[in-house]
Amino acid sequence: MSKNSGKEYLDNINSNLVKAAGYLGLEKGIVEIITGYERKLVVKFPVRMDDGGVRVFEGFRVQDSTARGPAKGGIRYHFNVSEEEVRALSKDMTYKGALMDIPLGGGKGGIICDPKGDVNNPNGTKIPMSEGELERLTRAYTRAIADIIGPLKDVPAPDMNTTPQIMDWLTDEYSKVIAEQTGQPYKRIDAVVTGKPVGKGGSLGRDRATARGMYFTLREAAKDLNLNLEGATVVVQGFGNAGMNFAKFVYDEFKSKVITVSDSKGAIYNPDGLNPYAVEEWKEKKSPKKSVLDFPGSKNITDQELLELQCDVFAPSALEGVLTKETAPKLKTKIVVEGANGATTNEADEIMYNKGIFRLPGILANGGGVTVSCFEWMQNLEGKQWTKEEVDKKLEKHMVDAYKATKEAADKHKISMGAAVYVVAVDRVAKALKAKHKL
Ligand code: NAD
């Protein structure tokens, strides 16, 4: 995302919120707070770099809303991070959490930095940050935002370029700050972040939660549309955490035919269906290009061809902004289930609705990720570890309930599922706001 698109992203979400507020008849002051933010912190902090110099970094933490519970959302390390982008991302978290009906609000953080060495650093070279630099950066940022985060205030998580290792440093540094502030012996406070490795406070089932949630919402939609998913043709864009695991779930559990998968290097097509496990093995172990391309028995196709394939289910699970007013008219699918965030523009949503394509927007379909993150936080607070089966059962309930509430709002107002998600979520946030502030 470019610096400017942070503002566009924010404007886009706000226009959805304003529309939803119209359906709900919300008063002006409520609309003002939901399109604004609750708290934002901008911090600057010095970090010792490997070359011996000190560099000052700028970071943000935005709490869009704590009306329904502590703020929740990732921390992004990227050279294009901006205040608007962080605000937009934190707003996404508020409404996704509300739609999933988890007891958390929305937050997000970010540091303007270049961990992968994608752009020139001040001395003109493109070098990734070392592990030591990343650790010192993370610890300094944690100290800078320590006063406003905490298990019952604001719970960060990984996002772009922030790993479980980074979450581990954050947990450790936060726990040190609390020990210093209280004068108590050091005690690790796991519930301050989610996205930790299993065994270090992480939840079972988090690794495949996003795809599992996509699978549950697709199952519910297919029931409503009377679409038999056995043998149904499925196209998946993106073969990473969301896309690949989704392909495996539909292949294993519905016996659907996954006719196309793609990655950043291109797409493959087999009208008789691909085995996603074999494609994974090809990509990871055998392909010289480390790509799905050239998978034996399949044909390489372009991204353009992928978008125009006749299929029953299309799952954009890589990039934002793939379904636009230019691409949406070319779709030949019955259902779109979005693993990716922001896959569809508002204009494309309207085009798809008018074409009779049933869209499961990312805020609903990929909500399994944040839901199981919430489960991780709950397990940390309880000091317990839920079994994989417990996690799956609870996730299924949240996904099915969110789907049903959205479908009901879509039918009631005669609007797309893409618009209905905001009606449901804004209603819940507005009610919580009124209760919290005694309005
Ligand atoms: P990932 O990095 O594991 O996988 C991304 C995949 O997309 C990779 O296979 C990559 O090669 C592919 N890709 C990149 N550019 C592409 C292109 N131009 N065309 C086709 N494929 C391309 O990421 P992920 O975790 O699976 O996330 C994918 C999307 O899902 C993102 O939008 C992310 O925000 C969203 N999402 C993920 C989660 C989660 O828990 N993983 C939760 C919510 C939303």
Residue in 287, 366, 374 to alter for ligand 1 test, most ligand atoms within 8 A of Cβ: 366
Any ligand 1 atom below 6 A from CB of 370: no
Shortest-distance Cα residue to atom 17 of ligand 1 = 264
Burial of 230 (C-beta count, 10 Å sphere; 0-12/13-18/19+)? exposed
Shortest-distance Cα residue to atom 1 of ligand 1 = 240
- 3-state SS, residue 53: coil
Any ligand 1 atom below 6 A from CB of 317: yes
What's the domain range around 51? 3-12+37-200
Identify whether residues 218 and 194 lie together within a single domain: no
pLDDT value of position 122: 60
The whole-angstrom separation of Cα 267 and Cα 292 is: 7
Is 108 one of the annotated active-site residues of the chain? yes
Identify whether residues 176 and 72 lie together within a single domain: yes
Helix-strand-coil split of the chain, %, nearest 5: 45, 15, 35
- Give me the catalytic one of 72, 91, 96, 108: 108
Shortest-distance Cα residue to atom 16 of ligand 1 = 264
Q: How far is the CA of 406 from the centre of ligand 1 (A)?
A: 25
The residue among 325, 350, 365 that closes a domain is 365
Q: How far is the CA of 115 from the centre of ligand 1 (A)?
A: 19
CA distances from 308 to 225, 234, 239, 263, 272 (A): 22, 13, 18, 17, 18
Q: How far is the CA of 261 from the centre of ligand 1 (A)?
A: 12
Residues linked to residue 339 through DSSP beta bridges, in sequence order: none
Identify whether residues 191 and 216 lie together within a single domain: no
CATH of the domain at 223: 3.40.50.720
Longest dimension (CA), the chain: 65
Any ligand 1 atom below 6 A from CB of 241: yes
Identify whether residues 165 and 287 lie together within a single domain: no
How confident is the prediction along the chain (439 residues), in pLDDT tens digits per residue? 555 578 888 998 999 999 999 999 999 999 999 999 999 999 999 999 999 999 999 999 999 999 999 999 999 999 989 999 999 999 999 999 999 999 999 999 999 999 988 776 566 667 899 999 999 999 999 999 999 999 999 999 999 899 989 999 999 999 999 999 999 999 999 999 999 888 888 999 999 999 999 999 999 999 999 999 999 999 999 999 999 999 999 999 999 999 999 999 999 999 999 999 999 999 999 999 999 999 999 999 999 999 999 999 999 999 888 999 999 999 999 999 999 988 999 999 999 999 999 999 999 999 999 999 999 999 999 999 999 999 999 999 999 999 999 999 999 999 999 999 999 999 999 999 999 999 9
Instruction: Confirm whether 31 is domain-assigned.
Output: no
pLDDT value of position 121: 59
Instruction: Confirm whether 218 is domain-assigned.
Output: yes
Burial of 416 (C-beta count, 10 Å sphere; 0-12/13-18/19+)? buried
Domain total in the chain: 2
Identify whether residues 242 and 280 lie together within a single domain: yes
Any ligand 1 atom below 6 A from CB of 210: yes
Instruction: Confirm whether 407 is domain-assigned.
Output: no
The whole-angstrom separation of Cα 192 and Cα 369 is: 17
Identify whether residues 175 and 232 lie together within a single domain: no
The residue among 340, 365, 390 that closes a domain is 365
Identify whether residues 254 and 297 lie together within a single domain: yes
Q: How far is the CA of 294 from the centre of ligand 1 (A)?
A: 21
Identify whether residues 167 and 242 lie together within a single domain: no
* Closest ligand 1 atom number to CA of residue 367: 43
Instruction: Confirm whether 92 is domain-assigned.
Output: yes
Any ligand 1 atom below 6 A from CB of 303: yes
Strands 313-316 and 335-337: parallel
The whole-angstrom separation of Cα 95 and Cα 91 is: 7
Q: How far is the CA of 237 from the centre of ligand 1 (A)?
A: 9
Shortest-distance Cα residue to atom 43 of ligand 1 = 366
Phi-psi domain of 357 (left: phi exceeds 0; alpha: psi -120 through 50; beta: other) = beta
pLDDT value of position 126: 72
